[in-house]
Amino acid sequence: MKILWTDKYRPYSLDQYVWKDEQFRIKVEQWIEERSIPNVLFAGSSGVGKTTAARMILNLMNIPKGDIKEIDASKKRQIDVLENEIDSFVSCWALNETGLKYIILDEADSMSQLAQRMLRKSIEDYSDVTRFIFTCNYPNKIIEPLRSRLQIHQFSSLDKEEFIVRIGEILSKENIKYEFDDLMNIVDISYPDLRKCINLAEDNSYDGILHKPKLNDTIISKDYLIEFVDLFKKGMMLEARKLLIASASQEDYVDIYRFFYQNLELFGDTEDQKDETLLIIRKGLVYDGTVADREINLSATMIELIQNWRKSQ
């Protein structure tokens, strides 16, 4: 069976993992040596190795898979379902020598505050039998009563040169020939998300060659954004807004707000216009994590940006 590159090149030892913080490595070594990890929160942008680190630590602690539960918090939106899943998992005895079970809860910042309060209670109720490893992109979205019960470790992104080297190494090991421009194309699309870049490289590698990435509705590509900018500058606001909504998955929304922020001059020439644009982007991004319908929020944010741009015309 073919092994996906993201699995094939996932680090399974401390030496294979790319460490950006030597103090954190020392802490991890201590956890492994003592076979004891506290309740923790791993924070950082997508694809920087948070979940990989959690799995690696538990593997090196010799925790069997039966004592590990991974939960995607972004998909477990119903509190009763999440609570029942945790309760049923911890109700059985642990099989490993630590006597503890371990729950990896990915994308915890996507949970409602009510769900987070429930988890705060779970940490207290099951402190003798369970450890929780939370991962998130935005630690500020984790409520303070929950954060106060966790050791927080911030994961930094690889710098772009290290990022390029890592992808180049994988392509070389897979005997994939590539032009530097094609390599930079996938890097520019995915940086700093290493996981996305590896997936993109694999998807576009065939016949022993890395090809130019295909456009699809799960990737915000440079060409795609250029098309959006072109429509916007031509004054085709409705078409530009429809293009963005139709072509982006909700996983890409944060990247869209970042793109807006990096291109403030698109929405106005003066400093006052740019300042107003930034405030609109900030409001849209804040609401993005709380509203019931993120697509409506993004669409409304673009309308505000367009209205602000028209004031300068």
- The reply to whether 112 falls in a domain is yes
- Do 54 and 142 belong to one domain? yes
Q: What percent of the chain has pLDDT over 90?
A: 35
- The reply to whether 9 falls in a domain is no
The pLDDT of residue 280 is above 80: yes
Local structure of 25: helix, strand or coil: helix
pLDDT digits (tens, 9 = 90+) for 156-210: 877 888 889 889 999 999 999 999 888 888 887 778 788 888 988 998 999 999 9
* Amino acid 1: pLDDT: 62
Going by the DSSP 8-state scheme, the letter that residue 99 receives in this structure is -
Q: Identify the weakest region by mean pLDDT among 42-46, 234-238, 299-303.
A: 234-238
- The reply to whether 3 falls in a domain is no
Local structure of 177: helix, strand or coil: strand
Q: Identify the weakest region by mean pLDDT among 57-71, 132-146, 167-181, 240-254.
A: 240-254
Spatial distance between the Cα atoms of 229 and 72, rounded to a whole number of angstroms: 34
> How many separate domains does the chain show?
3
Global confidence as pTM: 0.68
Task: Say which residues have a Cβ less than 8 Å from residue 184's Cβ, sequence separation at least 6.
Answer: 164
What is the average per-residue pLDDT within 227-240?
A: 77
- 210 close to 180: Cβ distance less than 8 angstroms: no
- The reply to whether 2 falls in a domain is no
- Do 148 and 260 belong to one domain? no
- Do 234 and 302 belong to one domain? yes
pLDDT digits (tens, 9 = 90+) for 20-78: 888 999 999 999 999 999 999 999 887 888 999 999 999 999 999 999 999 988 776 66
- The reply to whether 59 falls in a domain is yes
CATH number for 35: 3.40.50.300
User: 55-58: long-range contacts at Cβ-Cβ below 8 A with a sequence spacing of 24 or more?
Assistant: 55/10, 55/104, 56/11, 56/12, 56/13, 56/14, 56/17, 57/28, 57/31, 57/32, 58/102, 58/104
Q: Identify the weakest region by mean pLDDT among 85-94, 227-236, 269-278.
A: 227-236
Range of the domain at 133: 19-154
- The reply to whether 11 falls in a domain is no
- Tell me how crowded residue 213 is: count the other CB atoms within 10 A of its CB: 20
- 152 close to 119: Cβ distance less than 8 angstroms: no
CATH number for 190: 1.10.8
